[in-house]
Homo-oligomer: A and B are copies of this chain.
Amino acid sequence: MRALLLVAHGSRRAASNEEVRALTRRLAARAGERFGHVACAFLELADPSIPEGIQACIDAGADQVIVLPYFLSAGRHVIEDIPAEVRVKQEEHPQVQIRIAPYLGAAGGIEALLLDAAGEE
C-alpha cells in the first residue's frame, strides 16, 4: 500500500496547523486509489513529527511512503532537515520504500494554478 505524508513546517499559530490538517483531509478524500493512507506531519511546533507520521503510515500497512514537503522554497528545511529525518526512518525500515517528492514550490503545474488563482473572482 502506498501512503502520502504531507510535511509542513508547523506554526505557533494553531489555525495554520489546522489549515494543513484540513488540506490533508481534502487530499485524502481525493486520493482515490492512488494512496491508501494520507496524513500530515510537521517539521516543528506541531504534532505529529515527521518520524511519527512516517511510522503511522507504516503501521497502517504502507510499503511505500511518499513524503511531500509543503514548502515554497528549497531552503535548509527542504534540502537538509526533512531528508535527514526521512533517512533515519528509512534505515529503521529498509523494507519500506520512502521517497521524497518535489516540494510544492517546485511542483509541475504551479504556474497554471497561480494563473488560475489570479483569475478567480
- Give me the interface of A with B, judged by CB distance under 8 Å: 4, 6, 8, 11, 13, 15-16, 19-20, 23, 26-27, 30-31, 34-35, 66, 68, 70, 72-75, 101-102, 104-105, 107-120
Contact = CB atoms under 8 A, between A and B. Distances in A.
Contact of A116 (B20, B26, B109, B111): B109
Q: How many copies altogether?
A: 2
Contacts of A73: 11, 13, 15-16, 19-20
Nearest to A3: B118
A6 B114 contact: yes
Contact of A113 (B110, B115, B118, B119): B110
A115 B30 contact: yes
